[in-house]
Every structure is written in C-alpha cells, then in structure tokens.
Structure 1
Amino acid sequence: MAALPGEDMIVNVPNGFVERSISHNSKKGQVRTDLTEGEYPPLDKGYAWVIMAASSVNLLLASGGPNAFGVFQAYYLKVLFVDEPAEKIAWISTMTVTCSFSGGLLAGPLVKIFGMRNASLIGTIIATAGLILASFSTQIWQLVLTQGVIYGLGSSLIMNISLSAPALWFDKYKGFAIGVVASGGSSGALILVPIVTKTVSALNIQWSFRVLAILYFVFTGVSGYLLKPRKELVTDKKLVDFSSLKDPAAVMIYLVGMLLRVGFNVIVLYFPASLIDIGKSPTTSTNLIMVYSVFSSISRIVCGHYAKRLGAVNILIVFHAITGIIFLSMWYSSHRFSVYLAFYIMFGIFGVPFFSLGLLIVADYYPDEKVRQINGMSYLAMGMSILVSLPTTGVIFQKVGKRVDYSSIIILGAAAYFASLVPLILLKRFLKQYNTNFKVKD
C-alpha cells in the first residue's frame, strides 16, 4: 500500500525493527524498505538533545514530586491528622513512592498501544488528576488513593518512558545524557520543596496540591509532547514480559536496586529527623536536603560521564562499599553536626549513582526494545522493596530504637549497601558471559 505524499508508512522488516519509510525521499507511491542507519535522525546531536531536556523536565516533576511530599507528610503529622497514629499516616507516602516505582511496568503496554508520546501524556493526565483529587481529600484513605496510588501510577509512566528515551537517541554521550536525566529527581527537590513549603504556609494544603497540579500538567505535558522514539521498535506480543527473570544479569540488577532502596530509605526518612534530635532546627534540616540534592545531582551526571572509562559496575562496587563504611564510621559513631553534614554530602556523592548507572548498564547491554521492560521490572522490584522496607524500618525504629535511638536503622542501612556488593560482583561476572538477551555488538 502506497503512502500519500509527505506521509510515513510503517513496514515490518526482518531485522527486528519496524522501520519507517519516508515517501517523499523516494518515487511517488513507492514504499522503501531499505532505510539505513544514516537515514534516521542522527545519534548524539540535533533532536537527541531535545529528548534529553524533555526527559529531564519530566523526571524533575515525576521523580522530584515525591521528594517534596515530605513537606506534606510533616503537615499531616503536625496539623491535619494530629490524632492519628504515625504508622497509619505513613501509608500515604509509602503508597506514593511504591506506586511511583512499581507502576512503570505498565509503560511498555501503553507505549505499544498508544506510542511513546501519548503514553507519556496519559501519565500526565493520571498524575494531574491524582493531585487535583488530593486537594479535595480530607481522610487518610482518600490521600492514600489519590496522592498515593493515582498520582504515583501516573508519575511512574512518565518516569519509565523518560528514563528509557535517551538510550534510543544517544551513543557516544549516552552516559552523560542518562546521568543528566536521572539527576532530575534530585534537582526536582531543589525546586519543588520551596514551592510546596511556601504554598502550604501562605495559602493552604489544598491550594498547594492545586499549584503542584498546574505545574505538573504544564511541564510534563509539554515535555511529553516532545518525546518520540528515534526509530520505531517491534514490541513483544506479551503486554508484560517476565522473561527477564530467567536472565541472571537482569536479576542481579533487580537485586541491587532492591537492596539499595532499603539503605536509601533509611536516609530519606530518618536522617533529617536525626539532625533535629542533635539540636538543629527543622529549617536547617530542610536546607540540608537541598545541599544533599545538589551533590546527588552532580554525582549522577559525573558518574554517567565516566562510566564508559571506569566501568559502571566498578564504580558501583566501590561507591556502595564506601557508603556502607560511612554509615558506620560517621552517622553511627558521632553526634556532631559537622560529621553529620560531611556524611550527608558524602552520601549524596556515593550512595545514589545506581539510579543513573543501573539505567546505563541496561541501555549498554540490552537491545532498545528490551530497555523499557527491564527498567520497568527494575523499578517494580524497587517498589516492592519500598513497600516492605518502609513499614519494617518504622517498626525497628519504634520497637528497638524507641523513636530516639537511630543505631538499629543505621546498621540496617549499612548492611543493605554491603549486601548489594554481592549481586554487583556477580553482575560484573555475568556481563562478561555470553547472553542471548544482550544486544549484538558490532
């Protein structure tokens, strides 16, 4: 069937890709099936940088949003639900973070049905609806559903698509591009935390949700519209593909992410509170989150840039070992503010690069059509880890630490990072072996 002048025609070709035949580059009415790599948009230049920028903005809102919800959490504890048990209130943030990670597995089926751009815009609509509905919520269960499940699922779609898109457009600068995009979550805290804090105090929590909804809709809407694949890929006939669970390299990536989240959650949930317990004000605690976010963003970008030279897995092995050590030698062993500050900065440097390097490992070793599914499974694994570890850590802090002693959860955080060294070392071995799921190297 011929394409109309100026239109594209999709044709299946035997090399595993769906290639797009441009009719105005051939004779009128003639369908070309012999497109070469050079006839696609170029890698590492031109529209590739638009993809990086759009994906970064998406991550700033989709991944940075849950970071800003710490302000909401404080409001729930101190004002809105002051007579409710803390563990009950915690389900709001637990479901927000869990769904933000776990729901990404749905991105593959939606991209298959609607395309990358439309799937991202669907995420925008769902997440915005969740925020608007949250602004009318007055009960914990309502916020668990709106802010937690609905907003979280919408954000997860945007996160998965935006984290996978740069791998399709970059080669030489792939590490740098993925690092920049992955840093969006940390950078988002620098922007969204002050906005949420100001709107909650100047207006009210209802309007804070609505302002956030407007920002979310505008910025992820525009960025989502700019997203598109460099070339269309044949997707698996299965809506959700669990075959990667038979791939030892992929399983090791999932295990690293699960263990990392246990240690990472200890910092996110309890380190700011530990600062208050050594005599610092809540304002100081909030300001240090900004400092941590700056170093976290820089670390993700720099590690992505040097991953090809030093090896992504090698960087992670060294950094996770250092992170476990500083948990015990700094946070566990001291109550001085200067040591806490140094620890927080060092954690921002050494404790977070997996969020960019894990994506880079997947993009480097797996073909484009598998990247989104494996990233989705990786984030599903982290989501399940969050769902289990957040309440468990809270119980340990409540029962063992009596809500004043952080020693037990500090040890838990250190143990999680040390334990992640085992799958990392195995991953390094598996990446060197022949794997039918890996992309064919030229």
Structure 2
Amino acid sequence: MDRPGQDILLRTLSQVHSVNPAEDDAGINGNINGADRADDSTSEPSQAYKCLLVLAGFMMTFHVIGINSIYGLFQEFYTSPETNIHGAEGQDALVSLVGTIGSGLTWSGSIFVNPMIGKTDNVKLISLSGAFIMSVGIFLASFCTQLWQLYLTQGLLYGIGSSMYYFPLMSLTPAYFDRNRGAAMGIVLAGAGVGGLVLSPVFHALLARLGIRWALRVLGLWNLVLSIPISSVLTKKHGAAAGATGRTRSVGAFLFAAGNTVPVYFLTTYSISILSYSSSTGSLLLAVNTAVNSVARIAMGILADRVGRQNTMVLSVFFSAVTVFALWYDSDRGRFIAFTVLYGIWAGGYNALLPTTITEVYGVQNYSSVNGFIYFIRGLGALFGAPIAGVILGSHQRGAGSSKMFTMDALRTRYNDVAVYDGALLLASGFCVAYVRWLDARDKGGWSWRA
C-alpha cells in the first residue's frame, strides 16, 4: 500500500513512491527480508565496534571521495601543454568526462552494489573486491596515451571499484546509530574533506617530482594497501540494514550533484587561467576548499541533530547557490578565496546530511534501498554537470604561446557563464529540497520548526 505523501516527491530530495515489497522494479527493488539477512546476533553492537566502524568509514571516504575531489588537478594537467594524453590539450569537456564517469559511478553504482549487499552475508568480500578493481583502474591509467583509454581505466574501472568499496560501509553504518546519527555520519563524511586536504598537495608534489605516470602508480598502490584493513572492519551486518524495497525518483539529488561537481573540477583551472596563480597555489586552494568542507560536515551534522536535519539541508543548498552567484561570478582574487572557503562550508552540509535525512524519513529498515537509488540519481547528475560546464567553457589552450588562446576577457566571460550555469543548478536543487520540507510537514499533520 502506498504511504501517504510519498507518492508526490522524495521527502529528502524530490519524489518517491513506495511499492509493494513483492514487486521487482528492473533490479531496483529487492525481496530481501531484513530478519533473514540480519547478523546472527540481534544484540546491540558494542560501543567499541561503533567507533571502529566510524573510523573505518572516515578513512574510506578519505581516499575514495578524496581522490574524486582532487580530479581538478588531473583536469588541469591533462588539458595543459604538458599533457601525456593525445588530443586532450585544451579539451575541458572531454577531459572532465573522465572524472565524472569515475565519480558518477562511485554513486550510481549503488544500483547494483546495494542488491549485492542485501543478498550477501560477507560484505567484506564486496568491499575488498571493489578496492582491488578501483586500484587497478588508477594503476592502468598510468599507461594511457589516449582519452578513450582514460575513460576505461580512470573512469569506468575506477568508478565501478570505488562504488563496490564505498557502499558496504556507507549503507550499513547509519543503522548502528540513532540519536547521534548526524554527528556520526558527519565524522564519516568528513574524511572526504581531509582526504582532499592531504591528497591535493601530496599528489601535486608527486606529479612535479615523478611525473603523471609514476604519480598514478603510487596512488593506485597506496589505495590498495590502505583499503585492506578498512574493509576488514566489516565483520557483521546490523539486522535493520539488511535490505528493503522502494522505487525512487529524485530531481533534487540530480541537480545538486550536477552543480556540486563543477566548482570541484574547475576551481584549479580558474585560479590558474583567470587569476594567474601558480599550479602549486591552485592545488593549495583546492586543499583549503576540501579542508573547510571536512570541518563543515562534522559541524553541520552536530547542528542538524539539534535544529533539524531537513532545516539544515535546505539552508546549506540555498547558501551554496548564493555563494556561487555572489563570489565566483566575475571573481577577483579576494572574492575567489572567499568563495573557496564559503562554498566548502555550505556544500559540506548537504553531503553530510543526505544519509541521515533518508534514514530519518524512511526508517533504518528502508535506508539501503532508498539510499541506493538516490545515489544512483546523484551519479547521473555528476555525469551531467561538469562536462556541460566544459562545453560552455569551450576548447582553449593554456600558455601565452598558443595562437588558439582566448583573450582573457573572452575566457573570463565563459567562466562567468559556467558560474551562472552552476548557480542555477544549485538554486533549483534548493527549491526542490525546500518543497520536500513542506511536503514532509504536511504529511506529518502540521508544521514543526525542528525537522
């Protein structure tokens, strides 16, 4: 039977319609009984195990989302005159597609990973297999000389592997927490910002000293070594996280994911091409952005536990859009630094609160399936955002010696168009989330300031 209010719009993001558990919607729905797939023990997990799980989740997002968040460094190198990829110089749209395939599949791979989690008792094997595939994709990218090869390695292989590595921890962790769920998931997701903070200068140094090929090989091997103890933490599965059913449609998730990838991918290129910063300064700005994002995820999670998760999410999305329009558009150095910091704060709120809000609205028992499809939509949004921004920016060469180089005014105008496009995506997502907030209050019988 349909649940009231869920036939219109996804309460956490845009639209949802829950279906009969017996239905099987193109592989999205599962007939998995939580009790059948639960951990053999129904006792409450120990506090020590919960802490270990949070630590493992933090380290997992440290290098999965951390690697995704520094793709701007790859973007700048692959499109520069020093590139090792034939036909990539100046091709922002084509090169950004490599990163969006990888990061998009990290999320949209949930559509096949979550059913695997529901049907498999030993989720550790899923996580370890994914880490191996992900690392192989990074390592093989070091041998690439053509863009299509990057699409297969740093895009497809990396994305499939990172999704299999990411979701076992991310799908199961919220089930272990209740009152402090926002804070716990904020800490887990803060690893993404810390990862970007650490990996940005480290990879820039590797790139400068070893070159792109050995930098990728070191990154791939490091990723594999780090992932083994992290995956080993997954020794049991909380009964409430075993599986559920649901068919989801999400406009807000698509729009925010599309908008959120644009600053991450083009922050470095903007700082170098328009503001004439050095590449090392560009990587430092990216590191600052991810560091602020990391702190914001924890802070927003704690705030949301007290004033309401949906309230905090609505504010974070709207202020992300305002920051893009006010500070990135036609930015100078001072405003761009302010944008780097403030966008990191507000974007961190949405990313930290998405899992906890899903759990709050649909319940822990439905988290796995609803979360899985929402992240599938987010992955599609990521595929949509940065490549279109690259098309708007157009093909152009770096370096004063290039006859194809845009004039500075023309290039700045195109970056302004990218900022307007990005801000519009985030603003539209904000209206979706606000509308969901209103629907949720209506379905619960009245407005509550804390929700």
Report the TM-score range of the alignment, normalised by the length of the smaller protein: 0.7 to 0.9
Decide which of 101, 105, 110 is 1:99's aligned counterpart.
105
Task: Provide the residue aligned with 2:114 in structure 1.
Answer: 108
Shift of residue 391, structure 1, vs aligned partner: 2.3
**Structure 2: gaps (5+ residues):** 1-32, 396-405, 445-451
Judging changes above 3 Å, is the alpha-carbon distance between structure 1 residues 129 and 160 closer, same or farther for their aligned structure 2 residues?
A: same
Q: Which residue of 2 aligns with 1:391?
A: 387
Q: How does 1:371-390 map to 2 (within 5 A)?
A: 371-390=367-386
Is 1:427 paired with 2:424? no
Q: Tell me the number of residue pairs that the alignment of Structure 1 and Structure 2 aligns.
A: 394
Structure 1 residues 317 and 396 mapped into 2: Cα distance closer, same or farther (>3 Å)?
same
Q: Matched residues in 2 for 1:208 and 1:274: separation?
A: 23
How far apart are the structure 2 equivalents of 1:278 and 1:234?
A: 48
2: CA distance, partners of 1:115 / 1:392 = 40
How far residue 15 of structure 1 moved from its aligned partner, in angstroms, is 8.3
Partner residue, 1:414:
423
Paired residues of 1:134 and 1:143 also in contact (CA < 8 A): yes
Counterpart position of 2:64: 62
C-alpha deviation, 1:204, in angstroms: 2.9
Q: 1:49 aligns with which of 48, 51, 59?
A: 51
Residue of structure 2 equivalent to 1:293: 290
State the match for 2:350 in structure 1.
Answer: 354
Write the distance in 2 (CA, Å) between the matches of 1:274 and 1:205: 21
Equivalent position of 2:265 in the other structure? 269
**What secondary structure does 1:80 align onto?**
coil
Deviations 1:41-75 (A, max 9, x none): 24xx2210000001111111111112233333333
How far residue 402 of structure 1 moved from its aligned partner, in angstroms, is 5.0
The counterpart of 1:244, out of the listed 243, 247, 250, is 247
Q: Could you tell me how far 1:127 is from its partner in structure 2?
A: 0.8
2:192 is matched with 185
**Corresponding position of 2:7:** none
User: TM-score, length-normalised on structure 2?
Assistant: 0.80
Contact 2:290/2:344 (CA < 8 Å) preserved in 1? yes
Instruction: Rate the CA distance shift 1:415–1:71 in 2: closer, same or farther, 3 A.
Output: closer
Amino acid at match of 1:136: F
Equivalent position of 1:404 in the other structure = 412
Q: Distance in 2 between matches of 1:109 and 1:56?
A: 23
Helix, strand or coil: the match of 2:377? helix
How has the CA–CA distance of structure 1 residues 211 and 113 changed in structure 2, closer, same or farther, with 3 Å as cutoff? same
Q: Report the equivalent of 1:176.
A: 183
Corresponding position: 1:303 with 2:295: no
What residue is the counterpart of 2:5 in the other structure? none
Kindly state the Cα deviation for residue 234 of structure 1 after the two structures are TM-superposed.
8.0
Give the distance between the partners of 2:313 and 2:51, measured in 1 at CA: 27
Aligned to 2:402: none
Question: Could you list the per-position Cα deviations for residues 266-323 of structure 1 after superposition, in whole angstroms to 9, with x for gaps in the alignment?
Answer: 3123233332313322222211111111111111101111212111111122222222
1:163·1:182 contact (CA, 8 Å) conserved in 2? no
CA distance in 1, matches of 2:224, 2:195: 15
Structure 1 residues 139 and 426, CA gap change in structure 2 (3 angstroms): same
Equivalent residue runs for 1:336-347 within 5 Å: 336-347=332-343
Task: Report what 2:207 is aligned to.
Answer: 200
- Indicate yes or no: 2:315 matched with 1:318: yes
Letter in 2 for 1:428: R
CA gap of 1:258–1:71, structure 2 versus 1, over 3 A, is same
The AA in structure 1 aligned to 2:102 is: T
Instruction: Supply the distance in 2 between the matched residues of 1:188 and 1:381 (Cα, whole angstroms).
Output: 24
Amino acid at match of 1:98: G
CA distance in 1, matches of 2:40, 2:94: 56
**In terms of mean alpha carbon deviation, does 391-400 or 378-387 score higher?**
391-400
* 1:330 matched to 2:327: yes
Give me the whole-angstrom Cα distance separating, in 2, the residues matched to 1:372 and 1:338.
43
C-alpha distance in structure 1 between counterparts of 2:309 and 2:189, whole Å: 15
Preserved contact between residue 169 and residue 230 of structure 1 (Cα < 8 Å): no
Which structure 1 residue ranges, 4+ long, deviate > 6 Å from structure 2?
Answer: none
Is this contact kept in 1: 2:102–2:159, CA < 8 A?
yes
Alignment of 1:136-147 (within 5 A): 136-147=143-154
Q: Is the 8 A contact 1:168 1:229 kept in 2?
A: no
Q: Cα deviation per residue 1:341-372 (whole Å; 9 max; x = unaligned)?
A: 11221111112311110111012233334322
CA RMSD of aligned residues (A): 2.7
Three-state SS of the structure 2 residue aligned to 1:155 is: helix
Instruction: Out of 72-81 and 176-185, give the one that drifted further.
Output: 72-81
**Distance (whole Å) between structure 1 residues aligned to residue 39 and residue 314 of structure 2:** 41
Higher relative contact order (CA 8 A, sep 6+): 2
Q: Which residue of 2 aligns with 1:126?
A: 133
Deviation at residue 417 of structure 1 after TM alignment = 1.9
Alignment partners' CA distance in 2, 1:88 and 1:65:
19
Give the drift of 1:18. 4.8
Unaligned runs of 5+ in 1: 1-13, 23-34, 246-250, 436-442
Report which of the two structures shows the higher radius of gyration computed on alpha carbons: 1
**Counterparts of 1:141 and 1:104 in 2: how far apart (Å)?**
24
Q: Residues 138-172 of structure 1, C-alpha deviation per residue, up to 9 Å, x if partnerless?
A: 32212210111011111112222222232122223
| Residues 165 and 229, structure 1, Cα contact 8 Å, conserved in 2 | no
